[in-house]
Chains A and B, each alone.
Chain A
Amino acid sequence: MRHWPLLILLLWALMALVGPWLPLSPDGVHLDSILQGPSPGAWLGYDDLGRPVWDRLVFGARTSFLVALWVVALSLVVGTVIGALSAYVGGWFDLLVVRLIDIFLAVPGILLAIALAGILGPGIENVVLALSVVGWVGYARLARAQVLSLKHRDHVVAAQALGAGTPRIVSRHLLPLIAAPLIVEATFGVAGVVIAEASLSFLGLGVQPPEASWGSMIRDGTRYMLVAPHLVLAPGLAIAAVVLAVNLLGDRLRDRLDVRMRRHG
């Protein structure tokens, strides 16, 4: 039982990666089954257009998985490079980066992402772009703080004395040491992005119909809540399960890697 968060995440990844090769028809319309509840033939029932909810759920998993992967990867790389360089180089560059981070942190992230996604227009690439513009800041701040505390250590000074350049010192002597807290932060980041992607899709700013997203499934389902609550329950449970699993995993990872961060509790 201890491993259920991992199982949920594996299932999520599996649905996302194998989904397109399964015999599913997320856009297939069954006019005689509109709003039908779960049945042996379709165990999650059908939506308002007569499309099978399970099939759409699997393709929605693909959307959220791909967006989460891309956004966290992009934010992590960009944020870490900027933050680590900023702390290591120092001077006016550091001052500039710190100001920029402060300014980004003053704007509620999801709000800025909503505005950006809205102006960029719908589409999965634009969702990734909007969330990454907002997402890099947290990693940059963390990487900067970590490097600041490490840059005067003996092994770094020794590398400098041996004539190693900045890129080499940052990548070989600093990044490996700051990886643990960044990995923990990235794990929690996945949970945040899953919710953010679904939020954008819920608001109609995410993927384009007929492509499936858990967020847009909930939005479409709310209109039929009284007659067909399964339309809202299924994707909502999927999101909650994934986010819960990621958060639990993050907690465990943090304990395992013994990372003390600003997240308490």
Chain B
Amino acid sequence: MLSFFASRLLATGVVLFGVTVLVFALIHLIPGDPVEIMLGESARAADREALRAALGLDRPLWVQLGDYLAGLARGDLGQSLHYRQPIMEILLERLPATVELAAAALLVAVVIAFPLGALAAMYRDSIWDRLAMGFSLAGVSIPNFWMGPLLILVFSLWLGWFPVSGREGPASLVLPALTLGTALAAILARMLRSALLEVLSEDYIRTARAKGLADREVLWRHALRNAALPVITVLGLQLGTLLGGAVITETVFSWPGVGLLTLEAIQQRDYPLVQACVLLISFAYVAVNTATDVVYAWVDPRIRLGEG
């Protein structure tokens, strides 16, 4: 177990290093000059050079990258061009809102997906199955930026149940979490259905039924436990989509998290901040997936024995 853990950790380190280099390279190699944007096109050449030197942008790219990596190791992400304040401080200020939203969306997804997937698998090819899979198909086809405004229209503007935007109190979390969680719920319900159908055809389920256990008992005590494992892995993988979608959902609801911060940084041409936001979200994604792998291996010995 320990060696499995160590090898996963090492692989994660390599990926994180690669992600940093990739994002740094992409953002720096793309045409566009932050200095020109900060000073405007009419600025004098001497002023531009001075600012370029002050920001360290006149040095070779690999030196800048080395500097960035060294800073990252110390937890220093540099200064924001727009806010003129350490990026780490800004990120730490915005992070709780995104974590809160992601957790709530995950909860929404699980709460919707499990009953739906279970219902569809238990009553295969019935009207319930069709309804559940119809919902699932609709869920993946409706984009966040449409679902969000529709929810606002119905539940905020017409019914007045929830605030239109912002982050004040638990009520303001409901609509953003629904928006972000529904697509994930749709994917999970589909996965759970097919995982359950596979498990339900196994011998031990027949044995449980033969013993006279009720359908409900078979489902909860025997089938769901084994079917849930692959679904949990997918949950980890889908978290990337969830976090990426947070940019849109947070924009729709003016939710003050890292997603909205990313868009603001793009609009303000604050490249160091854009880079830090992308890195933070990617790191979170990688960390969750490593954690999922480790937990999975701990629960299911076949995996760590197969790999180690």
Contacts and interface: CB of A to CB of B under 8 A. Distances in A.
Q: Do A and B come from one complex?
A: yes
A178 interface: no
B32 A121 contact: yes
A184 to B, nearest CB: 16
B262 interface: yes
A218 B145 contact: yes
A89 interface: no
B141 A244 contact: yes
A243 interface: yes
Considering residues B19, B146, B271, which has the most beta carbons from chain A within 10 angstroms of its beta carbon? B146
B274 A110 contact: no
A226 B16 CA distance: 46
Given A103-B19, A114-B263, A120-B31, A198 B145 contact: yes
- Chain B facing A: main interface SS: helix
B63 interface: no
A119 interface: yes
Contact of B248 (A203, A222, A264): A203
A265 interface: yes
Interface in B13-35: 14-16, 18-19, 22-23, 26-27, 30-32
Nearest to A120: B30
A10 interface: no
A218 B149 contact: yes
Nearest to B18: A103
A180 interface: no
A148 interface: no
B191 to A, nearest CB: 6
Nearest to B144: A199
A107 B19 contact: yes
Contact of A115 (B14, B31, B262): B262
A248 B262 CA distance: 33
Contacts of B292: none
Interface in B26-56: 26-27, 30-32
Contacts of B144: 199
B240 interface: yes
Contacts of B150: 232, 236
Given A111-B243, A120-B30, A232-B150, A240 B142 contact: yes
A70 interface: no
B266 A232 contact: no
B213 interface: no
Contacts of B252: 222
Interface residues of B, number: 53
Contact of B274 (A106, A119, A215): A119
Nearest to B16: A106
Interface string B139-173: 01111111001101100010000000000000000
Interface in B261-308: 262-263, 266-267, 271, 274-275, 277-278, 281-282, 285-286
A14 interface: no
Chain A interface size band reads: 35 or more
Nearest to A198: B143
A114 B286 CA distance: 19
A247 interface: yes
A205 B267 CA distance: 9
A203 B265 CA distance: 13
Contact of A106 (B149, B152, B285): B285
A31 interface: no
B9 to A, nearest CB: 15
Given A115-B262, A119-B32, A244 B137 contact: yes
Contacts of B137: 244, 247-248
A111 B257 CA distance: 14
Interface in A111-168: 111-112, 114-116, 118-121, 133
Contacts of B195: 264
B78 interface: no
Contacts of B244: 108-111, 114
A119 B30 contact: yes
A219 interface: yes
A225 interface: yes
Nearest to A129: B30
A248 B136 CA distance: 12
- Most chain B Cβ neighbours within 10 Å, of A102, A120, A226: A102
B274 A118 contact: yes
A215 B262 contact: no
A265 B191 contact: yes
A239 interface: yes
Nearest to A111: B244
Nearest to B198: A264
A108 B241 contact: yes
A108 B241 CA distance: 6
Contacts of A109: 240-241, 244
19 contacts: A99-B18, A106-B282, A110-B241, A114-B244, A115-B26, A115-B27, A119-B271, A120-B30, A120-B31, A198-B145, A199-B144, A204-B267, A218-B146, A226-B153, A236-B142, A236-B150, A240-B142, A247-B140, A264-B194
Given A226-B153, A244-B137, 9 more contacts: A106-B286, A110-B241, A115-B26, A115-B27, A119-B271, A240-B138, A240-B146, A247-B141, A265-B191
7 A-B pairs closest in CB distance:
A118-B266, A108-B244, A265-B190, A103-B18, A236-B146, A110-B244, A244-B141
